[in-house]
Amino acid sequence: MIRSMTGFGAASANVDGAHYTVEIRSLNNRYFKAQIRLPEELQGLEPELDAALAKRFNRGSVVLVVRYSDTSADAAADINVRAIDRYLQQLLQVPSVEHNASRIDLSALLTLPGVIVSGTGEERLERAREILLRLTSEACDRLSSMRQREGETLHADLHQHCERIREHLTVIRERVPVTVELYQERLRQRVNTLLAEAGTTVREEDLLREVAFFADRSDIAEEVSRLQGHLDQFIEIIDNDSPDPAGRTLDFLSQEMLREANTIGSKCLDVEISRRIVEIKSGIDRLKEQVQNVE
């Protein structure tokens, strides 16, 4: 069954006082394209999360957003006491500060380089790695489920347009022999009217030669057959249970169907067939529009 490229999935967890949230959105794209948005302290996990997305999706523009907040004791940074002591010793050597030591702004001291020491980035990444990969997998499952449901809706809509195209194509196939007969009758009446005014007649073989020339020039049997074949293949693909992406193939088939329909419309001068071709081209345009969102 075909799948849509549009969807959303999210997962979150609280682990040891730290809160993690993973949100994944996907939109249609001709190829697979991933965007990873991580907090600065978790940037080192981007390659692994990108690889995790690439394993799950073949097409689509996928955006993964990670939100992270740590309220545990591990989130507190350490104060480098030796650094503060060193800064104080240097400040007290300044005469204007020595007599006003009580006025030293401790909050300002904390902003000096080397005073605040955070936990190592590797420790934070190690704690977050397994959690985020698990949450990413859960969010991908939910995204895939939504894309599957959207695909079912697309499947029904595509089938409806295909059936309408098939109905019009059936009428065209049945009408092709009739158009030659109608042309022959109209030509005979027209020629007889003109020759009656001139007081002469036309030979039957000349009339038949002209009809044969028209039939050859307006023969659309081959184009109708190819259009029918493309339509059958299109339906076979959307009904297939294969997990392989089908969007590009469906897009190619819809373009080929439109090309055959244009050729039929240009070769055949029958009013009824022309009207049916307009309806077929409208249906193909709908197919082309919809398959842009098929994975």
- Do the bridges between strand 18-27 and strand 32-37 make them parallel or antiparallel, or are there none, so unpaired? unpaired
Q: What amino acid is encoded at 116 in this protein?
A: I
Residue 51: phi and psi, rounded to 5, are -65, -35
More confident residue, 265 or 177: 265
The rounded percent of the chain whose pLDDT value lies above 70 is 75
Query: What count of Cα atoms within 13 Å lies in the side-chain half-sphere of residue 197?
Result: 5
Question: Other CB atoms closer than 10 Å to residue 192's CB: what's the count?
Answer: 13
Which of 20-29, 116-125, 227-236, 277-286 has the lowest average pLDDT?
A: 116-125
Q: What is the pLDDT of residues 204-228, one digit of tens each?
A: 665 556 555 555 555 677 888 999 9
Name the band, by pLDDT with cuts 50, 70 and 90, for residue 23. Answer: very high
Say whether pLDDT at 100 is over 80: no
Q: Does domain 7-74+121-148 have CATH number 3.30.230?
A: yes
Question: What number is the average pLDDT over the span 51-78?
Answer: 82
DSSP-derived secondary structure for the chain: ---BS-EEEEEEEEETTEEEEEEEEEE--SSEEEEEE--GGGGGGHHHHHHHHHHH-SSEEEEEEEEEEE-SGGGSPEE-HHHHHHHHHHHHTSHHHHTTGGG--HHHHTTSTTTEEPPPHHHHHHHHHHHHHHHHHHHHHHHHHHHHHHHHHHHHHHHHHHHHHHHHHHHHHHHHHHHHHHHHHHHHHHHHHHHHHHT----HHHHHHHHHHHHHHT--HHHHHHHHHHHHHHHHHHH----S--HHHHHHHHHHHHHHHHHHHHH---HHHHHHHHHHHHHHHHHHHHHTTB-
What pTM, to 2 d.p., does this model score?
0.68
Q: Give me 125's structure tokens.
A: 């990444």
Quote the pLDDT of residue 228.
Answer: 94
Q: What is the pLDDT of residues 269-285, one digit of tens each?
A: 778 888 999 999 999 99
Strand partners, 20: 13, 68
Q: Rounded to whole angstroms, what are the CA distances from 124 to 11, 39, 53, 64, 101?
A: 20, 12, 22, 20, 38
Quote the pLDDT of residue 62.
Answer: 96
* Region of residue 56 (phi > 0: left; psi between -120 and 50: alpha; otherwise: beta): alpha
More confident residue, 73 or 67: 67
Nearest to 170 by CA among 279, 286, 269, 271: 279
- Yes or no: say if 7 and 150 are a contact pair by the CB < 8 Å rule: yes
Q: What is the pLDDT of residues 154-194, one digit of tens each?
A: 999 999 999 999 999 999 888 877 766 655 556 555 655 65
Name the band, by pLDDT with cuts 50, 70 and 90, for residue 259. Answer: very high
